[in-house]
Structure 1
Amino acid sequence: MPAANAIGVAINTSTYTLNFSKTVLPSQGSFELRQGSTTLATMPASDTSRVTFSGQTVTLKPGVRLAANTAYSLVAVDSPVADSGGRPWSPAALNFTTGAAPAITRIHDIQGNSEVSPLLGRTVTVSGVVTTFLPDLNGFYVQEEEANYDADPGTSEGVFVYGLAGAPAVGEDTVGKRVQFTAIVDEYNRLTQLKSVSDLEIKEAVPLPAPIAITLPITDMAQWERYEGMLVKITSATSGGKLLVSDNYTLGRYGDVVLSNDEVLPQFTDKNKPSVAGYADYAKTMQRRQIILDDRSSKQNPASVRGRNNQPLSAANPLRAGDGVDAVVGVLDQFYQNATPPEIYQTSYRIQPTQALNFTGAARPSASDLHTALGQAGVKIASANVLNFFSMVGDTSTNTKDVFPTPLGNTIGIRGANTLVELERQKAKVVANLIGLKADVYGLMEVQNNGFADDSALKLLIDGMNASADKPAGATYAYVKAPFNQGGGSTIAGAGTDAITVAIVYRSDRVTPVGSAAVPNVSTYDAFTPNVGGARVPIAQTFSVPTATGTEQITVVVNHFKSKGSLLATGGNGDILDGQGNNNPARVKTAEQLKNWLATKPTGSDSANTVLVGDFNAYAMEDPVTYLESNGYTKVSTGYSYSFDGLWGSLDHIFVTPSLVSKVGKVVKWAINAEEPPVLDYNVEYKSEAQVADFYAPTAYRSSDHNPIVMGLNFDALPVNQPPAIKGVPTTATPVVVGQSIALSGVTVEDPDSEQLVLTLTPVNGNVSGANDADAQLPGVQLKGTTAQINSELGKASFVPTAQGDANLGFSVSDGTNGAVTASYAFKVSAVVDPGKGFELVPSAGGSVSGRIEGAGCRLASSPQYVTVQSLGITTMPMEGATLPHGLLALTAAGCDVGGALTVTMNYSQPLPQNAELWKWGRTADNLNKHWYRIPHKITGQTVSFELRDGGLGDDDLKADGNITDPTAIVAPGAVPPVANAVSVPVMNLWGLLTLSLSFLSFAPLARRWSRRR
C-alpha cells in the first residue's frame, strides 16, 4: 500500500506496506522513494528504524512528506528482499500519484457560536499559529492568523490541541510559528479541543495575534465563550484599577487563584439583606467579576507555586487575598466538571498566563500595627477561632478511629494535627496569634473538648502562652474551668458533647473572674444540642476589671453557632437561596435562646456590661445578627474576617450591651489568617520536604482560617485626641508637563498622638507611582502606618500627570477618631510638544500659552526667549499710552522653504481681551528702519493665528533665505489699565519650547484695546 498506479493517495501518507505471498527476509539492497529522477529517501533493508520485516509484510517509513498532486515511485535497488531460500525479489517500480491537499477548516468554524462545537467528532485539518505550549496540560493552543478571522463576533479564533504524543515536534520554540495538522474535534469539561493529532507540519514564523482586551466585570458570561482558546489581556474596567486575588484556597494544591476587579468579592448578605431574587442577581454579578488564574499545569501539589513579586511562594513571600496585578495576558480556557460544578456565583473560565506576573500587596499587618490601630485601651477583649486545636494527635480522616472522651462522657473522633510534629507547628502559630493580640480576655472557638486537666488542649495552649518570649511583661495566662453553673442549682462538667468547644482564656494579672462560669441547660435551651440547633454550648464568665475609681464588672460570653455546611436533618433548615445558606432557622433559634438565657443573668452578676464574642456563622446582614441587634446588643465589629469559596464577609462578631457602647474604643480585625493561602499553615501532608520547611514559619500568619478580633474598652477618660496634619502641599498650582514625575517627598503627615494613620492619595488626571498601596481594594492609593512609615512611603512616591489641563492629587488622612484632614496638590499640565514645532510657556501673568508652527518645512532652531523693550532699544509704543504688559518674545525659525509661508497659532489658557491686536517690531520693505506695524491676524476666542513669509511681511531680515526672524507683540492701548505687576514675560507662552530658527521677537499679549483713530 498504496497500490500500484494508485491515484489520489493522501499526502499525509507516512508508511508504505508491501505484502508478499511468502515469508521474506532483508537482503543487501535498499528501497528508494523517488519523485521523477530525484531520490527523496533511501531506506537500506538493514535499517530497522525505517524498514520492518514481519512474516510476509515489509513496512517502509521514508520520513518524507508528500506534495499534493505529484507522481512518486517506490523502487527496490539491489534486491533488498529475499525469500527464506535466498532468492531475491526484483520488482518493477511501484508508482502512485497523490491527491489534492486537504481542505483547511478554520478554527472559528470549529468553535461555532455556542458552547459545543458544531463539528464535534469530525476529523479536520487546521492551520494556525501556536500561541502557547503547555506540556503540563499535555497540549498547546493554536489561533488563526488575524487575516483569517471571520466577521462573526460570537466565534472564537483559538482552540486547545490535546495530546503531545501526536505532535512530538511541538515545543516552546514552536510558539509564534504556523502549524498545520489533522485532528478530531472534541469537547472536554466544556472546553472545545482537538485530539488525536496526526500529520503535523511546523511551518514559518508569523506574528502572534494581538491579545483581545477584556475588562472585568464582563457584560455577560457569553463573552468568555467568544474568546475561548484565544490570547486575551484581562484588566479592570476601572481606570487605574487592578486585578486582585479574591480566592487563594487552592493555590497550594492546584497552583491557581481567582482574580476579581478592584476588590475581593463580598458575600451577598454581608452587604445586603437576605433576598432570593437579590441573591440570584448578585450571584450573576459576582460571576461576571472573576477569572481563574491557572498555573499552566494540571499537576496537584506542584513543587513551586506563585508568590508575590514574581517569586515562588514561601512563608516569607505569600500571595495574599487582596494582592494585585495590573493585567494578565494569556490564553483563555475553561474547565467545568459536571461531578463538582462551581457555585452559582463562580466561573469555570480560566486564563493560562503567557507573560510573567508581578503581584504586589501591602505588608502583612504585624502585632505592632494591630496595637497602633487599636490605640489606647483600658481592657482588651479578643475573639479567636483556633481551628481545631487538639492536644491528641492521630488519624483525623474518620470520626471513629482515634477517639477521646469528652467531659460529659461521650466518645468522639479527633481533629487537627495528625502528628506531634504538626501539633508543635500548630501550637507555635496559635500562640503567636494569641500573644500578638495582647488581650486581657480571650473567647476561643474550636478547642478540643477534652476537659481542663494537664493533658487537655487548653492546658497545652496556656502553657505555650505563658512560655512565650513575646508575651507582655508580667503577663500570666489562665483559663476558665468547669464545673459550669447551668442554673437551678446544678452544675455540669463540660460545655457540650461535640469534639470541639468554646473556651475563655484571661490574664490573671489584669482581670479577675467573679463567681462561676455558666452554660445554658440544654434541656431548656435545645438550640445548643447537636440535632436541634447545632450550636456549640456557649460559656459566660463575669470578670472584674480595674479602673481609675475602682472596678467594673464585664460578662464575656463566647459563642459558636451552627455552620452553613452540613445540613441539620430537622427544622426546615435547607438553603432557600436567599444568601444565608443552610441552617439559618437554627441560627436564629440559637440567637433567640442566647438572648433569653442571658436575660436570666446566668453568672449571677447584676452588671449590665455584657460582651458577646465568637463565630456566629452568620454574615453582617443575616437574620441571627439583625435579631441580636434589635434585641439589645450593638455590633461594634466591622470588616471581613473569613472567606468561603471566594466570597468575603464576617462570621465573627463582637456585640456589646448599651451600657458599654460609649466605652468601646477601637475594634480591629487582625488580617493574619483569612487572607493567607492555606498551604502556609502547619500541616505537612501533600508537601515536599522542601515545602515543609519553606512554607512554614512559627508566626501568627495562617494560624487559623478566621481573622481574630480585639476590642478596646475604656472605663476611664482618655486624653483628648488631636487630629493629624498634612504639611508641605503647595498653595498654588504647580506647572508640569504630561508624563513628568513630581516627587512627593516634600509632603509629610504629622500626628501628636502617634497613632496608626490612613492616608489616601486620590489622583485626578494622573497616577501615583512608587508607593506601596496598602489596600488595593479601595479607591486611590492607601498608605497605612505610623507617621514615620507613611512619610517613608511618600518619600518614594511621585505623581505623574496623564493629560494636558488641570490635575490634582487629593490627600486625606484619618486617625480613626477625628474627622479626615484633607489637602489638595494642584497642577497645571502642559502638553509634551515637539521642540521643533510646538512650544509651551507659563509666564507669571495672564495665564499660560501653547502654540505651534506649520508650513514651509520650518523648524525652530533655538528655544524662544523673552526680552524687554529696553534690550531692543525700543523707546516708543505703537500708540500713545499703549503698554506691552508682558514684554516681547524673540523666536527664530530656519530650514524653511525659500519664500515659503509659515503659519503661527497660539492658544491662551485665559480669555483674550476684546479688541486685542497683533503688532510687530521690525523692518518692512517700505521702511528699513525698525518700527511698529500691524500684520494680518485672526483672534478667535483664546486663539491667535497669523502668517509669516520668508523674505516677506513679518520676516525681519527681508531675505528669502529659508530663515524667518519675527518679533511680535499684542498691544494694550493706554486706556486699558495695565496688568497688575506687569513683567517682561509674554502671556503667549506658545513660543517656549520651539527649536526652529523662527525669531518672533515680540509677542506681547494685550489685556484690552481702546478704540483708536485711523
Structure 2
Amino acid sequence: MPRRTLTANRTATRTAPAASGGRSAAVAAVVSTALAAGLLTAAGAGSAAAAGPAIHDIQGSTRLSPYDGEQVAEVAGIVTGVRDHGSRGFWIQSAEGDQDDDPATSEGLFVYTGDASPTVTAGDAVLVSGTVTEYVPGGAESGNQSLTQITKPAVTVVSSGNELPPATVIDARSVPDAYAPEGDAADDGSINSLPLQPRSYALDFYESLEGMNVRVGPSRVTGATDPYDELWVTVKPGENRNRRGGTVYGDYSAQNSGRLQIQSLTPVAEQPFPKADVGDRLAGRTEGPLDFNQFGGYTLTARTPVTVERKGLEREHARPQRKGELAVATYNVENLDAGDPQEKFDALADAVVRNLASPDIVALEEIQDDNGATDDGTVSAEATLEKFTAAIEAAGGPAYEWRGIDPEDKKDGGEPGGNIRQVFLFNPERVSFTDRPGGDATTATDVVRSHGRAALTHSPGRIDPADDAWLDSRKPLAGEFTFRGRSVFVIANHFGSKGGDESLTSHHQPPNRSSEAQRLQQAKTVNAFTKKLLKADRKADVLVLGDINDFEFSATTKALTDGGALRAAVTSLPRSERYSYVYQGNSQVLDQILTSPSIRRFSYDSVHINAEFAEQNSDHDPQVLRFEP
C-alpha cells in the first residue's frame, strides 16, 4: 500500500511553566564555551541561562509538551543524529543526563528544519531557539501519538566533536510487559494527558525516551526489510515466539511490547540497508535517536551501521493432496494484472505448483482488470487470467480453468481503476464446476433445494451485491463444484481492509478499529447465506475462504462462525502457527478458510512463502485445506 503524505497537527496551546532548577546545570558548559568563543555576550549568556527551559522541561511528564505553541530560546543540547532526507532535522540531548531525576521526562528532542538541510553534525554542542509544537504524523485523524519538536529553529553551534550522551539501553529487562494504560474516558479514551509510567507500560517507557540516544543489542528480526528500508526486531527473545522466528499476535491484549522498528539515518545511496527475513538477527549494537513516525510508531533511527546475520529461513511447501482428498486454497496475489512483468506471473505460478502442490481449487483475491490501474472503464480480467493460467501450466501445473464475475467499474474498492475481484481456478481433471448462468455484477445468487440437496441459483454468482455491507468493497463470489460425485460450495471473499484503523501505538487505548464495522456486516451476510445452504442441506460441504482482513479472535470471525455455521480452520493449528501476514513485526491472521459442520476432518496449512521475507511475490501467505467430501 502506498504511503500517505505526512501532515501536521498542533494541540491546544498551553501556558509554559517556569524553567526548572536543573536548567543552569544543563547549559552551564555550553554557555561557558559560547562565551569563550565569542558567540554570546555576557548579557546574552545571562538571558540564555535564565530564560530557556531544559529539554526535559519541554518534554514534560505526559505525551504533550507544556510548552506547546510557545517560543523558547537557547535550548542547550548535544546533537545526537542528523536526518537530511524525508523529515529533515536533527536530535539534541542534554549532556548531563537525567537532571531532574524523573524517569518520565525525556532528555532528547527533535529539531525540525523543514525544507532546509540541517547545518549541524553529531557531536555539536548547540543552542536552539524556536517554537515548540506537537506534530502528529499522519494528521490528527490518524489517531497517532504526537512528536514533540522545535520548529523554525535558530541554531548556534557552540563547539564540535563533543562526546555523545551515553545511549539508553532498550532490552528485555527495561521494557515492561504491559503495553499501554487504559485511556482516559473523560478524554475520549486518550492517554495523552495521563502521567507517564515508564516502569509500568511499554508505550510510556518508549515515550519517556522520545528523541533520546538509545541502543539495542543483538535482536531477532520479526518483520522483514520492507520497500522503504525498514525492519522490525524484538528485544524480548521469548515473547510469543514461533518456530520460524516471528512474534505472533494472538490477542488484542497481547501487542508484543518488545517490538521496535529500525531505520537508518544514512541515505541508502551512501550505505545500503540490509535485506533481512524474519528469524534473522540484528547484529552487534545498533544506536541512534528514538523517533516516532506515522508508519511504525517508535523507531530507532540508527546512526551506526545496521548489520544483519542471516539465518536462512526457507519457504514452505504444502504436501500434495491424496487421491480421495479435495485440496482448496486461497491466495491474495496482490493486484495482479496483465501488464505486470512476466517474472511476477512466473513466480506466482511457481508458488501454486511447487509450494501449494497444485490445489484442486484456488480462490484468488486481487485479480485486477486487464490494464490494471489504468482508469478507462475496462473491467474484464480475461487477459490477466490467461497469462496466469498459462504460467502455471508452463511451471508444470495443471491446465486450470477459471470462473468469475466482472465487477461494475469502480464499485469494488481497491486500487483506483484496478477493479479487483475474486476468481476461482480449478483443475478440470480432478473437479468439475457446476455452471448455472445468470449471475452478474448486480444479480444475487440464492439457494434452492434440488433433488433433496442444496443448489445455487447462479453459479458463479455474487452474494447480495446490493447490500450496503459491500459498498465500495469486493462482493463475495459463490461457486458450486463437484468432486467424486459430491457437491462442494465455495465462497471466495475479500472483506474490507483495515485502512483507517488506528495503530497499536495510537494515543487512544485501546485503539479505534473503525473499519471493523463494515467487516462485521459482511461477515453477517456471508454467515446468513451459509445458513441458507445448511438449511437446504444440513450435510452440505461449504467452504468460506479468502482475505478476511481480520484475526481469528476478532468480532468478524465470531460473526462468520455464529450459530455453529462455520468453523475457523486456522484454529486447528497451534497458536504459534496461526498467521498469514506480518505487520509491524507482528505475525497475524488475515487470510482464512472456514468449514461447515459436515467437514469434520481436514488438514490445514498456512503456507509461509511471502509474509516473512524481504523478497515477496505477494504480501500474504496462501492457505490450503484438504478434506474428503
Identify the residue that residue 211 of structure 2 maps to in structure 1: 229
CA distance in 2, matches of 1:566, 1:165: 29
Q: State yes or no: 1:503 paired with 2:423.
A: yes
Q: Deviations over 1:186-217 (max 9, x none)?
A: 33523233753444232564464243445334
| 1:642 partner letter | Y
Paired residue for 1:533, among 459, 462, 469?
469
Equivalenced residue count is: 494
Shift in CA distance, 149/580, structure 1 to aligned 2, threshold 3 Å: same
Question: 1:717-866, aligned counterparts within 5 Å?
Answer: none
CA distance in 1, matches of 2:158, 2:224: 41
| 1:116 partner letter | S
Q: State yes or no: 1:124 paired with 2:74.
A: yes
Shift in CA distance, 364/530, structure 1 to aligned 2, threshold 3 Å: farther
CA distance in 1, matches of 2:84, 2:513: 43
Unaligned runs of 5+ in 1: 1-9, 15-63, 70-97, 236-240, 273-278, 314-318, 337-341, 392-419, 482-493, 546-551, 568-574, 681-701, 716-1014
CA contact (8 A) 2:363 2:422 kept: yes
Paired residue for 1:196, among 145, 149, 153?
153
Question: 1:598-609, aligned counterparts within 5 Å?
Answer: 598-599=533-534, 608-609=540-541
Instruction: Give the C-alpha shift of residue 68 in structure 1.
Output: 8.0
Identify the residue that residue 13 of structure 2 maps to in structure 1: none
Q: Deviations over 1:963-1003 (max 9, x none)?
A: xxxxxxxxxxxxxxxxxxxxxxxxxxxxxxxxxxxxxxxxx
Shift in CA distance, 669/304, structure 1 to aligned 2, threshold 3 Å: farther
CA distance in 1, matches of 2:115, 2:403: 65
Paired residue for 1:292, among 254, 258, 261?
261
| 1:479 partner letter | W
Q: Could you tell me the TM-score, scaled by structure 1's length? A: 0.42
Q: State yes or no: 1:256 paired with 2:256.
A: no
Q: State yes or no: 1:620 paired with 2:556.
A: no
CA distance in 2, matches of 1:584, 1:515: 29
CA distance in 2, matches of 1:144, 1:423: 52
Shift in CA distance, 323/531, structure 1 to aligned 2, threshold 3 Å: farther
Instruction: Give the C-alpha shift of residue 540 in structure 1.
Output: 2.0
Identify the residue that residue 493 of structure 2 maps to in structure 1: 560
Secondary structure of 1:462's counterpart equals: helix
Identify the residue that residue 668 of structure 1 maps to in structure 2: 605
Identify the residue that residue 184 of structure 1 maps to in structure 2: 130
CA distance in 2, matches of 1:383, 1:362: 29
Shift in CA distance, 134/123, structure 1 to aligned 2, threshold 3 Å: same
CA distance in 2, matches of 1:151, 1:124: 22
CA contact (8 A) 2:364 2:425 kept: yes
CA contact (8 A) 1:374 1:712 kept: yes
Shift in CA distance, 164/330, structure 1 to aligned 2, threshold 3 Å: farther
Instruction: Give the C-alpha shift of residue 529 in structure 1.
Output: 0.8
Paired residue for 1:432, among 327, 330, 350?
350
Secondary structure of 1:122's counterpart equals: strand
Identify the residue that residue 825 of structure 1 maps to in structure 2: none
Q: Deviations over 1:731-763 (max 9, x none)?
A: xxxxxxxxxxxxxxxxxxxxxxxxxxxxxxxxx
Identity across matched positions, percent: 17
Identify the residue that residue 298 of structure 2 maps to in structure 1: 349
Secondary structure of 1:186's counterpart equals: strand
| 1:529 partner letter | P
CA distance in 2, matches of 1:651, 1:139: 37
Secondary structure of 1:227's counterpart equals: coil
CA distance in 1, matches of 2:278, 2:78: 36
Identify the residue that residue 392 of structure 2 maps to in structure 1: 465
Instruction: Give the C-alpha shift of residue 708 in structure 1.
Output: 0.7
Secondary structure of 2:264's counterpart equals: coil
Question: 1:418-457, aligned counterparts within 5 Å?
Answer: 420=339, 422-436=340-354, 437=356, 438-448=358-368, 455-457=382-384
More strand by share: 1
Instruction: Give the C-alpha shift of residue 557 in structure 1.
Output: 0.5
CA distance in 2, matches of 1:467, 1:288: 46
Identify the residue that residue 656 of structure 1 maps to in structure 2: 595
Identify the residue that residue 185 of structure 2 maps to in structure 1: none
CA contact (8 A) 1:191 1:334 kept: no
CA contact (8 A) 2:56 2:106 kept: yes
Shift in CA distance, 529/348, structure 1 to aligned 2, threshold 3 Å: same
Identify the residue that residue 380 of structure 1 maps to in structure 2: 327
Q: Deviations over 1:642-668 (max 9, x none)?
A: 356765432322233444433x23x21
Identify the residue that residue 245 of structure 1 maps to in structure 2: 222
CA contact (8 A) 2:73 2:128 kept: yes
Secondary structure of 2:564's counterpart equals: coil
CA distance in 1, matches of 2:497, 2:154: 47
Q: State yes or no: 1:516 paired with 2:430.
A: no
| 2:465 partner letter | T
Secondary structure of 2:345's counterpart equals: helix
Per chain length, whose mean CA-contact separation is higher, i.e. which structure has more relative contact order (CA < 8 Å, sep 6+)? 2
| 2:213 partner letter | L
Instruction: Give the C-alpha shift of residue 513 in structure 1.
Output: 1.0
| 1:500 partner letter | I
Shift in CA distance, 351/195, structure 1 to aligned 2, threshold 3 Å: farther
CA contact (8 A) 1:266 1:647 kept: yes
Shift in CA distance, 266/333, structure 1 to aligned 2, threshold 3 Å: same
Shift in CA distance, 612/566, structure 1 to aligned 2, threshold 3 Å: same
| 1:516 partner letter | D
CA contact (8 A) 1:640 1:649 kept: yes
CA distance in 1, matches of 2:521, 2:605: 29
Secondary structure of 1:582's counterpart equals: helix
| 1:562 partner letter | F
Q: Between Structure 1 and Structure 2, whose CA radius of gyration is higher?
A: 1
